[in-house]
A = this chain, B = another copy of it.
Amino acid sequence: MVDEARASAKPKRLTAKGAATRERIVRSAAELMHEQGVESTSLDDVIAVSGTGRSQLYHYFADKSEIVDAVVEFQIGQVLGAQEHLLRNATSMSGLDRWRDAIVTATRSRKGSHGCPIGSLSSALSDSSETARLAIARGFDRWEGELHAGLRHMRQTGELAQEADPAALATGLLAALQGGYLLAQARRDASSMQIALDTALDHIRSFTR
């Protein structure tokens, strides 16, 4: 049982069917946890929504904390996957503006609700689960890393002045994004997101020439 659970941490060893079942469990858990919170989501909920049997679920996950860790990885993949194209092209001020427009539009279409799946998991888990916190931190690092790469490119091409610090600009931009999600969610209003991103982007723009 323990060995099987261990194996679940390495999805590559699963058969195609096993991988599909595991993903169905993780996806259901991710949706439930995003909607009703991590703590409020029981294994019974996950079993019911994913249409998996209890023994099947325990074949892939030893306990809830293993599902939570898988949900963290899943959401990081989902969020960064959805932004992949925009992030890859955020290598100029106009590329960053397109990324900003897409986020503001998406936030507006939800009237600000739901927030960021990774940000919500971070708030719920960072103080209580060290494994989850580390995975979330790695997710933020990847996200910031994509922004950082684009900003570094902008300094190389001369769009940003040499004195600009791409690493700090990327941190400031990711923080603005996360704060924007949080305020927009509480206010059910995307304008907090727009202003938050524009604050960080105008700061970046001040280094253009």
Contacts and interface: CB of A to CB of B under 8 A. Distances in A.
A89 interface: no
Interface stretch (A36-44, A80-88, A98-106): A36-44
A137 B40 CA distance: 23
A119 to B, nearest CB: 6
A112 to B, nearest CB: 9
A35 to B, nearest CB: 7
B188 A176 contact: no
A115 B126 contact: yes
A174 interface: yes
Given A196-B171, A199-B172, A187 B140 contact: yes
Interface string A172-209: 11111111101101111001100110111011001000
A172 B198 contact: yes
28 contacts: A37-B128, A39-B39, A119-B123, A119-B182, A122-B185, A122-B186, A123-B123, A123-B185, A127-B185, A133-B186, A137-B186, A137-B187, A137-B188, A168-B195, A168-B199, A169-B199, A171-B199, A172-B196, A175-B195, A175-B196, A177-B179, A178-B179, A178-B182, A179-B179, A179-B182, A182-B182, A199-B199, A203-B203
A120 B192 CA distance: 17
A136 interface: yes
B203 A199 contact: yes
Contacts of A39: 37-40
A64 interface: no
A113 interface: yes
Interface string A103-135: 000000000011100011011101110000100
Contact of A123 (B115, B133, B187, B198): B115
Given A175-B199, A199-B199, A200-B199, A123 B126 contact: no
Given A128-B36, A185-B127, A175 B203 contact: no
Nearest to A123: B123
Contact of A140 (B37, B137, B180, B183): B183
